[in-house]
Amino acid sequence: MFDLYLGNKNYSSWSLRPWLLLKHFGIPFTEHMVSVAGRDYNPALKPIAGNARVPCLHEDGFQIWDSIAIAETLAERWPQMWPADARARARARSISAEMHSGFAKLRTAMPMNLKLKLKGKPATPEVQRDIDRIVEIWEEARSRFATGDGPYLFGDFSVADAMYAPIVWRLHIYNVALPPVAAAYRDTLLAHPAMQEWYADALKESEAHAHYDQLAEEYGGPR
């Protein structure tokens, strides 16, 4: 039996990834929400996660933390979470790891806050480099590795899509213009039923954090 400990759906981009994987592949689990107030180590979370952060997946009490470790653990039992072709699978792992460890400028400039929908503003050169790299990744995956009629990065939904889901929300929230292939992929993932379920849950939350909410003014206010 799986239990997933996750942060507020409005703010917690890391928590979205394993939640979306579990939902897409129809794996039963019970979710438990904790506050993500603050960005630093939180000793109050130590009893539920060895690294004192969420997300953390429990299987009969055994803890698996960090979104990419959770994904790999699940994929050992549900191998369809990665592309079947060896080279596509290797590329999916590469871009998932890149997402996990990179794009710090974009993350800092555009924190996840699903209650915002902003006019946007020109990106700094550092943030634009992150955006350009994401577009490059999406376009290569769609043109070189996507198989069949599936609309996701590698055709069928995979761990890579779950890893990029929070960035999809960020680009949408902050009204970042994208070229056609990347825009089509963004819209596909936004329309995913589980993404819409997460969004609906986020809008119902009452907890607010000023650090995230104040960015509405910096990005031109609501659309």
Average of per-residue pLDDT values in the chain: 93
Residues in the chain: 223
How far is it, in rounded angstroms, from Cα 41 to Cα 45? 9
Question: pTM for the complete prediction?
Answer: 0.94
**Token pair belonging to 213:** 């909410």
Domains recognised in the chain with CATH numbers: 2-77 (3.40.30.10), 83-204 (1.20.1050.10)
- Following DSSP, what letter does each residue of 195-223 receive, concatenated? HHHHHHHHHH-----HHHHTHHHHTTSB-
Integer CA distances (angstroms), 176 to 26, 167, 183, in order: 32, 11, 10
How far is it, in rounded angstroms, from Cα 185 to Cα 180? 9
Helices (H), 28-179: 67-77, 86-101, 104-109, 125-140, 159-173
Mean of the pLDDT values across residues 183-212?
93
Q: What's the pLDDT band for 21 if we cut at 50, 70, 90?
A: very high
**Per-residue model confidence (pLDDT) at position 148:** 87
